[in-house]
């Protein structure tokens, strides 16, 4: 049976770092969520930055939260 190594303790490579992820409506869910989780596990402060209206080909609804292609909301 294989042994699994769990990363714990002070070896978090991105401790005290801030990382921005730029996101727009109908993002591919896994392309946001996986990096978000991995960066968080490494100790980074992850900031989600929504694309301003007009910079993305999809229409933007002002009061609608940004969601992925499959309805996953942006983690806040």
Residue 66 lies in a domain: yes
Cα–Cα distance for residue pair 63/40, rounded to 1 Å: 27
The count of domains in the chain is: 1
Q: Model-level pTM? A: 0.66
Instruction: Report yes or no: 25 and 67 within 8 Å, Cβ to Cβ.
Output: yes
- Greatest alpha-carbon pair distance for the chain in Å reads 53
What's the domain range around 61?
A: 15-76
Residues 44-76 have pLDDT tens digits of 999 988 877 555 555 656 677 777 888 888 764
pLDDT at 1: 54
Burial of 19 (0-12, 13-18, 19+ CB in 10 A): middle
pLDDT of residue 60: 58
- N- to C-terminal Cα distance for the chain? 38
- pLDDT tens digits, 1-35: 556 666 565 678 888 999 999 888 778 888 888 99
Evaluate whether residue 2 is within a structural domain: no
């Amino acid at each position: 049976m294989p042994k699994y190594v769990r990363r714990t303790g002070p070896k978090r490579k991105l401790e005290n770092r801030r990382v921005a992820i730029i996101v727009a409506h109908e993002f591919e869910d896994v392309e946001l969520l996986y990096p978000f989780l991995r960066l968080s596990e490494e100790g980074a402060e992850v900031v989600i930055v929504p694309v301003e209206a007009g910079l993305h080909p999809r229409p933007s609804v002002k009061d609608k939260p940004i969601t992925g292609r499959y309805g996953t909301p942006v983690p806040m």
